[in-house]
């Protein structure tokens, strides 16, 4: 009886490892969307592979969901460890320098890299919108033109302008949800019309 249970666990773990190997490219993309740099994402996936190879995990009812949750947990663990390492280094400098350290208000190189990556993702999202939607979004959000003026210039109703803006906000919200790892509904922006001026 005991050996039968071990065999089932071996099969479940092997199955989970197989699902991991098949899902690895998708998990890599997921980590990149979360803001991991390529080297960090590869390290995380290697850790998960080793854990699945060594640990007896199973049986797992939803292997893909389990792997995404595991990947997210490892990603968050990496970020926490990086934060602790930075604080230890700062504390070491404080203790051993004998002087007060100058506070650099600029974002860290990692924060700048993450911001650039997120901006590139946002730009790809906007580039994927229909040209008219992009134009309306740019004129309203960046150039601060009133909706009535945009509608009159293009020859559409204010209601149509609002629909184009809603489409742009939904695409941006969906991208943000992917970055944040949330599973909410991107259409929640429809309930915040006043906040976005539409």
Domain residue ranges of the chain, discontinuous segments joined by +: 2-82, 109-196
CB 39 within 8 A of CB 82: no
In a 10 Å sphere around its CB, with 0-12 CB exposed, 13-18 middle and 19+ buried, how is residue 184 labelled? Answer: exposed
Domain 109-196: assigned CATH number: 1.10.10.10
Q: Residue 105 — φ and ψ, nearest 5°?
A: -80, -10
Task: Point out the least confidently predicted range of 21-30, 75-84, 128-137, 145-154.
Answer: 75-84
Q: How confident is the model at residue 45 (pLDDT cuts 50, 70, 90)?
A: very high
pTM of the model: 0.40
The architecture (CATH level 2) of 2-82 comes to: Orthogonal Bundle (1.10)
Q: Return the top range by mean pLDDT from 3-7, 40-44, 171-175, 188-192.
A: 40-44
């Amino acid at each position: 009886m005991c050996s039968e249970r071990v065999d089932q666990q071996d099969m479940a773990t092997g199955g989970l490892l197989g699902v991991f190997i098949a899902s690895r490219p998708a998990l890599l993309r997921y980590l990149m969307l979360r803001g991991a740099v390529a080297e960090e994402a590869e390290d995380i996936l290697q850790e998960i592979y080793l854990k699945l190879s060594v640990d007896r995990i199973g049986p797992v009812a939803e292997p893909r969901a389990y792997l995404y949750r595991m990947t997210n947990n490892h990603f968050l663990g990496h970020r926490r460890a990086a934060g602790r390492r930075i604080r230890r280094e700062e504390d070491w400098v404080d203790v051993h320098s004998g002087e007060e350290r100058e506070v650099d208000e600029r974002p860290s190189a990692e924060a700048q890299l993450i911001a650039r990556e997120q901006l590139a993702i946002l730009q790809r999202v906007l580039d994927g919108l229909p040209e008219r939607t992009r134009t309306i979004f740019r004129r309203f959000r960046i150039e601060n033109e009133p909706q009535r003026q945009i509608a009159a210039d293009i020859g559409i109703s204010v209601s149509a302008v609002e629909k184009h803006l809603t489409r742009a906000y939904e695409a941006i919200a969906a991208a943000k949800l992917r970055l944040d790892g949330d599973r909410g509904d991107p259409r929640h922006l429809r309930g915040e019309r006043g906040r976005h001026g539409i």
